[in-house]
Amino acid sequence: MALVIAGDRSGVGKTTITLAILSFLIRHGFKVQSFKVGPDYIDPMFHHYVTGRPCRNLDAVLTSESYIQSCFSRHIQDVEFAIIEGVMGLFDGVRFPMDDPPQPPLIRGETVTDSLYDNSYASTAYIARLLDLSVLLVIDCSRLSGSVAAIAHGFRSFDPELKIAGLILNRVGSDRHLELLTNALKPLNLPIFGVLRRQDNITIPDRHLGLVPTDELPHLNPLIHQLADLAHTCFNWDLLLPLLRTQFFGNERTTKDTKNTEKERKEYPLYLAHERLFVKSENQKKKLRIAVARDRAFSFYYQDNLDLLEDLGAELIFWSPLQDKGLPDDINGLYLGGGFPEVFAKELSENYGVLRDVKNAILSDIPTYAECGGLMYLCESLIDFNGNSWPMVGVLPTTTVMSKQLTLGYKRGIVLQESPLFAAGSLVYGHEFHRSRLTNEPLSPLYHLWRYDDKIGEGIGEGWGLSQLHASYLHLHWGAHPEIPGRFLQNCDRVQK
């Protein structure tokens, strides 16, 4: 049905191998859907660049198990092949909160003890089990020979319910090195799906939050061609293609499958959203216009969030805080996603017309959602890594200061005040990933947040709520919670009237 590309740890080459497989399939004219485990924004950009289709995030913390199943099912219906890129190591996840136990059917099985799985909720292995998919394990062999067998055996036996289809050996040196690896692995009878030699000439640039986004890489096509060439010679496609192929494509679907698809559609949260959140009035003559900032400085958006806004009756107007002279005309709402405003702080600070328009729109109570980089943009100023200070929109009475310290991880929280997205008292699940801090924290914070795997405790106050503004470092995925964009659009509709 599809294949999961996993690693024994971070940095083993999962993204490079996934892109190589995608590039090869696209070169040969196949329709391919990709997915990414976890909350990452940047790896999916590369998937999208190669396939021309938005990559979908599969995150059990930010959404739900049922949403992951329906999302996966819906997006493989019209493609020939599907691939899921894992996150970190195969079993790397989070500890499930003791005060919020998992729901059946994913309570751990009897074959694996709880102690082994304490920290693997939402991991790549968890998603593979949830979707009943096979896993290809990528091993970085650059500093290994015979020990590769111990690693492979350990990963295969750790969870007998998980289907390890085989291995991809990455960063192999000489022919002698490959011989040592394959001889060590023979007793395991574990198929080798691919062997990639050390590729010093194939690199994807990175910086302080991971890979450099595709919009900043004008010469990406030669790299994609290199990866397709590499995939042609390095993978055993006779083994690989059957596992990548989706179960039902073209006219092979049965009546039973069609009924199952309809059932999944009705279980999809958007269906409930239309039933419970009457957003688009029959008397509404035009769609609500939501200005979505999207350029090199602001590019962190989950495609599912954008899809939900459109499906709930919004018209998305994409615009650039870097290049446009002002906000789009006649907007009903404003969406400022995350990204890298710190990298483009100078250019952003010099676009006076946009800074003025954004400030005036927020002060005039246009419902606004600002997330991470969007929050930073709304501060009085931004101090970059070199200590330079750049004026920003100035709606929030605080300054963003870039720092080497990384804030990273899943959070749970309670909404403390009414906002365009939430009612006070709502429980929220999100993810933080930034290297910055604010000089002044809000006196009346938007959220009370604590680490996801902690019990409800002291936590911290975070986020700014000002009239129709919701601004926070917390990244949100709305897929399993259509009431969030529903409430946002309801507020936009009220402003329009």
Residue 162 is classified by DSSP as: S
Q: How far is residue 159's CA from residue 399's CA, in Å, rounded to a whole number?
A: 48
Which of 239, 157, 149 has its CA nearest to residue 187? 149
Structure tokens at 460: 């911290």
- Residue 469 to residue 420: CA distance in whole angstroms: 7
Residue 277: count other Cβ atoms within 10 Å of its Cβ.
18
| DSSP structure class, residue 41 | S
Cis amide prior to 104 (ω within 30 degrees): no
Tell me how far apart the alpha carbons of residues 428 and 412 are, in angstroms, rounded to a whole number: 6
Per-residue DSSP letter, 327: P
Are β-strands 210-211 and 206-207 bridged in parallel, bridged antiparallel, or unpaired?
Answer: antiparallel
- Cα 476 from Cα 429, distance rounded (Å): 7
Q: Phi first, then psi: what are they for 135, rounded to 5°?
A: -120, 135
Q: Angle, nearest 10°, between helix axes 255-267 and 65-75?
A: 130
**Hey, what are 351's tokens?**
């676009």
Q: At what angle do helices 14-27 and 42-51 cross, to 10 degrees?
A: 20
Active site residues: 372
Strand 210-211, strand 314-319: pairing: unpaired
Q: What does DSSP assign to residue 329?
A: S
Structure-token pair, residue 483: 């009431």
Cα–Cα distances in angstroms (integers) from residue 123 to residues 7, 36, 172, in the given order:
11, 11, 27
- Kindly state the helix (H) or strand (E) to which residue 24 belongs, with its residue range: helix 14-27
Helix or strand holding residue 194 (H, E): strand 192-197
- Other beta carbons less than 10 A from residue 385's beta carbon: 15
The dihedral formed by the CA atoms of 369, 375, 381 and 382, expressed in degrees to the nearest 10: -140
Q: In what order do the strands lie in the sheet with 288-293?
A: 314-319, 288-293, 333-336, 368-371, 469-472, 464-466
Q: What is the DSSP letter of 109?
A: P
Beta strands 81-89 and 3-7 are parallel
SS3 107: coil
**Quick one: how far is CA 65 from the chain centroid?**
15
Q: How are beta strands 3-7 and 134-140 bridged, if at all?
A: parallel
